[in-house]
Amino acid sequence: MTLEQLSIFVAVAEREHLTQAAAALRLTPSAVSASIKALENFYSVTLFDRVGRGIQLTREGRVLLQDAKETLARVKMTAAVLSELGGLKTGDLDIHASQTIANYWLPPLLLKFSQAYPGISVNLTIENTAKVAAAVIAGDAELGFIEGTRDEPALAATAIADDRLVLVTGLENANEIDRENLRSQRWILRESGSGTRSVLEDALRAIGVSPSSLDVALILPSNEAVLSAVRSGACVTALSEAIVTPFIQNGQLRAVEIELPPRRFTLLRHKERHRTAPAREFEAFCRANG
């Protein structure tokens, strides 16, 4: 049994899907399937039931999953200790970030960090705010970056940058929009659990508008999907200033003259889990450059 086989098994077991695991691991589905079969054949055990066109963990597979995750975590911690002894010459850093931060704010910082520490491999996963917080709590991410705040007792939260949500509408909407008629507009929103959605709802409450009173036409899972939908119609939404400014400037969107309260980008880390040297250094790097 190799560490690579264990990593492949865990990736497949967590998703119960060969193709998705292969994509996450940047391997071919055939290579992933061959690794699982080799593990099963060598130890004469069935780890997955093939049910229809899908797969499900067997009882033996569930037992192995827990032990495999613990083994990989111990190996990762050992590598982190060696990285610290090596003075940040090598190492890994797992970061989870919400969409706006991952797509617009983090990339320049990650580039500068990689130039300063070329031996550190940074693994970035993009999720919504709720999933980012859950990943840090579970130990799947050393650092998390979210929009707004998150009240989780296990997490330490540090504000690292400021941002502003801007209300925008498509050019087909010729109506003047103000606080009094926000409820009569058709809205396109991010999904529940996203930082953008949460901050917008708080901002609306602050100006006396209940989020439950909005006429919601669509709920979409990404900033890009929301942006595309609003540009093509007469609906209203709120997105980061960094996202909408180019489209306002080139005449594809119209800004609504209602100013929303500023929001913060927040760094999350677990209060009790050990932070590796790369994590400590990147946190300091964000504070200095954010």
List of domains in the chain: 3-84 (1.10.10.10), 87-161+265-289 (3.40.190.10), 164-261 (3.40.190.10)
Judged against a pLDDT cut of 80, whether residue 139 lies above it is answered with yes
Chain centroid offset of residue 196 CA: 12
Nearest to 108 by CA among 59, 150, 152, 161: 161
Averaged pLDDT, 50-78: 87
Structure tokens at 97: 């970030």
DSSP 122: E
Structure tokens at 41: 């054949």
Residues 249 and 227: their CA atoms lie apart, in Å, by: 15
C-alpha distances in Å from residue 243, one per residue of 160, 168, 259, 266: 19, 11, 16, 18
H helix and E strand count, the chain: 11, 11
Judged against a pLDDT cut of 60, whether residue 85 lies above it is answered with no
User: Tokens 């010729």 correspond to what residue?
Assistant: 174
Average pLDDT of the chain is: 90
Structure tokens at 286: 């964000």
With 0-12 / 13-18 / 19 or more C-beta atoms within 10 angstroms meaning exposed / middle / buried, residue 41 is exposed
Q: How confident is the model over 230-270, as pLDDT tens digits? A: 998 899 999 999 899 999 999 999 999 998 888 889 999 99
What SS3 state is found at 183? helix
The reported pLDDT for the residue numbered 193 is 86
Residues 171 and 219: their CA atoms lie apart, in Å, by: 20
Averaged pLDDT, 62-91: 79
The reported pLDDT for the residue numbered 87 is 66
What are phi and psi for residue 222, nearest 5 degrees?
-150, 155
Those residues with Cβ within 8 angstroms of residue 257's Cβ, 6 or more apart along the chain or in another chain = 177, 178
DSSP 18: H
pTM (2 d.p.):
0.67
DSSP 211: G
Least confident among 78-82, 112-116, 123-127, 196-200 = 78-82
